Amino acid sequence: MLDQHRSALTHLSEDERMFRDMVRDFAAKEIAPLVRQMDEAQQMNTGLLRQLFSLGLMGIGIPERYGGSGGTFFEAILAVEEISAVDPAVGVLVDVQNTLCINALARWANEEQKKKYLSLLSSNTIGAYALSEAGSGSDAFALETRAAMQGDNYILNGQKLWITNAKEAGLFIVFATIDRAAGYKGITAFLVEKDTPGFSLGRKEDKLGIRASSTCELVFRDCVVPASRVLGEPGKGYKIAIETLNEGRIGIGAQMLGLAQGAWGHAVQWARERRQFGKPIVEFQAMQFQLAEMATEIEAARLLVYNAARLKDAGQEFLKEAAMCKYFASQVAERVASLAVEVYGGSGFVKDYPVEKLYRDAKIGKIYEGTSFMQLATIAKLTL
């Protein structure tokens, strides 16, 4: 992957640079050879999953006392970016683990829950975040899944849709309402293990892009969850979801940034090698201008993503910046991937070359973890 000059905002410390380079090297050597096969099989390679854990990439922000890497949120963002430049499907798996599941547990779990679940997430267990339902998308809290107290347990009934990592996950953060009349104040988060009685996976979605990333329906039929597995406290699910999704949007911004960087790198390489009219097409000014415009938009997206991540690590407000980086990076990813296909010409339209897949992968960036319209609504609210 072609490197770029860095502004002051995108300057990396020596440790961050070493970490980024390690992830970049791993992605190029270990992920790249598997991309097409995983996409066509619609399945994540199990050996690759073990490697992600062994490198500490599935527990970047988990403190070392729980077996994690003890890294920063910014380092998690770097990992998502570099992996997504090679395969955004693997990128989103790492993203959901680090920016949603681990962050939610680190902030809201009690000590007993942290010892058990952060230790699992850092070593061998993949997490999933179960909020969306058929009638609960952008209106995330119009959810219908119920949880009723019965002795020392809650009984969950309902369905969740479009749950990333569902097939591979061993732990699910599930949002359900314990009191419909209380509105959002009745929403509660539960830690549901894969083998919990009454819980099962439903249909696996057949998707346009990020096909190696599993997206499944979750089914709860009299699912028995001990009260000790409430995350936070009853009625705090709304706050947990909102705060965690704000961080997750930076992760999706990083995924889309990496995707755009990957597509641009492929386009530049092709333009240098492809010859027309007796010379490489990169020597034509029209091609140079197109690639230059793509590079400029990518760097602008990088500034937004890195700024939001730095603000989060510094403990400062980042809601507006998270919305901006998610919105803009997803726009850039779709545009750059589309132009990369055009740079390849007819070759870009076939599966023999990587830009076709990146173009398919880019579309989801405008949809999940808050649509572009929802990001614009947030930006307008906080700026106008």
Q: What gap in Å lies between CA 173 and CA 170, rounded to an integer?
A: 10
Q: What gap in Å lies between CA 178 and CA 235, rounded to an integer?
A: 8
Q: What gap in Å lies between CA 324 and CA 327, rounded to an integer?
A: 5
| Residue 92: closest CA among 324, 304, 317, 330 | 330
Inter-CA distances, 54 with 15, 51, 76, 280, 335, Å? 19, 5, 15, 42, 35
Long-range contacts of 50-54 (CB under 8 A, 24+ apart): 51/26, 52/90, 52/93, 52/94, 53/122, 53/123, 53/124
Q: At what angle do helices 285-313 and 237-273 cross, to 10 degrees?
A: 150
Q: What gap in Å lies between CA 37 and CA 49, rounded to an integer?
A: 15
Question: Does the annotation count 369 as an active-site position?
Answer: yes
CB of 133 within 8 A of CB of 144? Answer: yes
Q: Which residues contact 18 (CB under 8 A, 6 or more apart)?
A: none
CB of 62 within 8 A of CB of 121? Answer: yes
Q: Which residues contact 83 (CB under 8 A, 6 or more apart)?
A: 23, 27, 31, 57, 90, 91, 94, 258
Name the token pair of 171.
């732990």
Q: What gap in Å lies between CA 134 and CA 136, rounded to an integer?
A: 6
Catalytic residue numbers, as ranges: 369
